[in-house]
Amino acid sequence: MASSRLENKNALITGGASGIGRATALRFAEEGANVAVADRNLKGAEEIAALVTKLGRKAAALAVDVSDEAQVDAMVARTVADLGGIDILVAAAGVSHARYGERNDHPVPLAEKPLADWRKVLAINLDGVFLCDRAAAREMIKAGRGGRIINISSGAAKLPLPGSGEYSVSKAGVWMLTRVMALELAAHRITVNTIGPGFIDTPMTAPVQRSEGFAKRLIERVPLGMMGEPLDVANSALFLASEDGRYYTGSILHPDGGVVMQ
């Protein structure tokens, strides 16, 4: 018998067109959820939404810049209108550096980091998660059914990455944001948790993988000796979104092959 841990639940997933967001959208649909796929890449979101529909679930594809307050509020309102409510938010949208999607930055120490680069990464990775969490929480409180908020952070929330200081700081901020919101929303039966992945095979890590020497050094730091897959993170999100994870809040899970424990 097929599992249906999220039957009749409505999920909103940002960054849903690729990588971790894509894997999570499809995994949730397999478990019975209706899914709103949000991404700045609308065409990609539409492709994933079509796959969700093929699995027999309701789907919506939404274009959003998560650093824009008005766009985030409109995204959540549209999710409620299209799916009938919002039970689960997975805030997976994020960038590794200021020109993500254009070219790969060379590592730049914070003493030499342009302020514009710092602000862009924080705007997407931290402000964006705050805006999405806030808008989803407001709808969950209004509906009175509780809910699940799951933020995608990184192992870099605990392990500093030289040359990528703005990324590390943004992800550490997501971790503390999660903890504060978990306390504030507990009375509404809304759990708030975060996932801090390690070295996962996604478009974000593709530039690193093209440098065989650098990739080899990174994998050598992983006790399990291999990269993770987006599905590893999606399964962690499924646990937190389902009844299996109902007693977790303010927690961080690390699907990272053991990196953070060192």
Closest residue by Cα to residue 145 from 95, 80, 92: 80
Residues in the chain: 262
Helices (H) and strands (E) in the chain, counts: 9, 7
Q: Yes or no: say if 123 and 67 are a contact pair by the CB < 8 Å rule.
A: yes
Establish whether 167 is a catalytic residue. yes
Q: Yes or no: say if 191 and 149 are a contact pair by the CB < 8 Å rule.
A: yes
Beta bridge partners of 13: 37, 90
**Cα dist from 137 to 13, 155, 187, whole Å:** 14, 25, 12
Catalytic choice (100, 167, 247, 248): 167
In single-letter form, the type of residue at position 177 comes to L
Provide Rg for the chain, Cα atoms.
17
Q: For the beta carbon of residue 234, count every other beta carbon within 10 angstroms.
A: 25
What DSSP element (H or E) covers 73?
Answer: helix 69-83
Alpha carbon distance 207, 262 (integer Å)? 25
Q: Which residues are catalytic?
A: 167
